[in-house]
Amino acid sequence: MTTHAPTQPIVNRPAVTNGRASLPLQIMLVTWRNLVTIFRTPVALVPPLVISIFFLVIYESTLGKAAAFIPNLSGNSYLGFILPLSIISSSLSGSGIAAQNMVRDIESGYFDKLLLTPVSRTALLLGPILAGALILGIQASVVIAFATVMGLQSATGVAGLAVVVGLAILLGTGFAGFTVSAALGSGSAAATQGASFLFFPLTFLTASFVPLELLDGWLQTAARLNPITYVLEAMRGLLNTGWDTAVLTQGIAACLILGVAMYALAVYALHVRTRRS
Angle 263-23-170 from CA coordinates, rounded to 5°: 35
Q: Are 71 and 90 in contact (CB under 8 A)?
A: no
- Confidence band for 4, pLDDT divided at 50, 70 and 90: very low
Q: Residue 2: what pLDDT?
A: 44
- The phi and psi torsions of 85 (rounded to 5 degrees) equal -65, -40
DSSP, collapsed to helix, strand or coil, labels residue 77 as coil
| Cα 127 off chain centre by | 13
Instruction: Write down the pTM of the prediction.
Output: 0.82
**Tell me: the pLDDT tens digits for 95-140?**
677 788 888 888 888 888 888 888 888 999 998 888 888 888 888 8
Q: Residue 277: what pLDDT?
A: 64
Is 220's pLDDT higher than 80? yes
Q: Which of 243, 174, 237 is nearest to 202 (CA)?
A: 174
Q: How far is 33 from 112, CA to CA, in rounded Å?
A: 17
